[in-house]
Amino acid sequence: AASGNSMPGVELPALDDVTLRETIDIANINSREYQFQIENLFLAALDLTFGRFQFDVRYLGVGGQNPQVELNRRRLQNGTQELDLSSRLGVNQVLPSGAQWAVELANNTLWLFSGSNQTTSVSVLSYSLVQPLLFGAGRKVVLNNLTQDERNVLYQTRILARFRKTFFTQNVAGGNGFLQLLQQLQVIYNERDNIKRLERQVEILRALSSQKPKVQSERLDKLPENWIIPPALVEKLEFDEESRMLSWNGEMTAEQEKQLLALSDEDSFQATAGELVQRIRTEVVTLDVAQLETRLAQSINRLRSLERSYQDSLGSFKLFLGLPPNMPMSIDESLLKPFQLIDPLLPEIEQEIYDYVEVWAQVYVEDWEDPNLVPPTTAELLKVVEGLQVLQERLSNDAVRTLEQDIRNVDLLLGNTQEEVSEEILQLRKRRFQSEEDRDRIRQSSANDIRLYSGVRKEVQEIKSRLEGLRGFLSEETLSNDQKKQIILEMANLREDMLRISQGMQVIEIGLRVELITLEPFTMNITEAVELGMENRLDLMNQRAFVMDARRLMEVRSNSLEAVLNVVVDGDVSTPLGQNKPLDFRGSQAGLRAGIEFTAPLSLVQERNAYRESQIEYQRQRRTFMEAQDNIKFDIRQSWRQLSVLRQNFETSRVQIRLAALQYDSAVEATSDPAQAGRNQGLNLLNALSSVLDAQNSLISNWVNYEQNRLNIYRDMGIMEIDENGIWEDDFYQHRAGRSRPTNEHRQSNPGTTETRVTAGEDIQPVVFRPAAELNALTETEEEPAQAPQ
pLDDT of residue 204: 75
- Maximum mean pLDDT: which of 196-210, 244-258, 563-577: 563-577
pLDDT of residue 754: 35
How do residues 585-604 score in pLDDT, each as one tens digit? 877 788 899 999 999 998 89
User: Whole-model pTM?
Assistant: 0.78
What phi and psi, each to the nearest 5 degrees, are found at residue 614? -65, -35
Q: DSSP letters of 342-390? A: S-THHHHHHHHHHHTHHHHHTT--S-TT-TT--PPPHHHHHHHHHHHHH
Q: How far apart are CA 152 and CA 46, in angstroms?
A: 11
CB 786 within 8 A of CB 390: no
Of 668, 767, 784, 722, nearest in space to 297 by CA? 767
CB 464 within 8 A of CB 396: yes
Q: How far apart are CA 599 and CA 179, in angstroms?
A: 68
Has residue 360 got a pLDDT over 80?
Answer: yes
Secondary structure of residue 114 in the 3-state scheme: coil
State the pairing for strand pair 14-18/329-331.
parallel
Burial degree of 774 (CB within 10 A; 0-12, 13-18, 19+): exposed
Mean pLDDT of the region 112-119: 74
pLDDT of residue 757: 47
Mean pLDDT of the region 184-192: 94
How do residues 698-716 score in pLDDT, each as one tens digit? 999 999 999 999 999 999 9
pLDDT of residue 5: 52
Mean pLDDT of the region 315-331: 92
Has residue 743 got a pLDDT over 60?
Answer: no
pLDDT of residue 10: 58
DSSP code for 12: P
Q: How confident is the model at residue 445 (pLDDT cuts 50, 70, 90)?
A: confident
Q: How confident is the model at residue 748 (pLDDT cuts 50, 70, 90)?
A: very low
How do residues 486-520 score in pLDDT, each as one tens digit? 888 999 999 989 988 998 888 888 888 888 888 88
Q: How far apart are CA 725 and CA 26, in angstroms?
A: 11
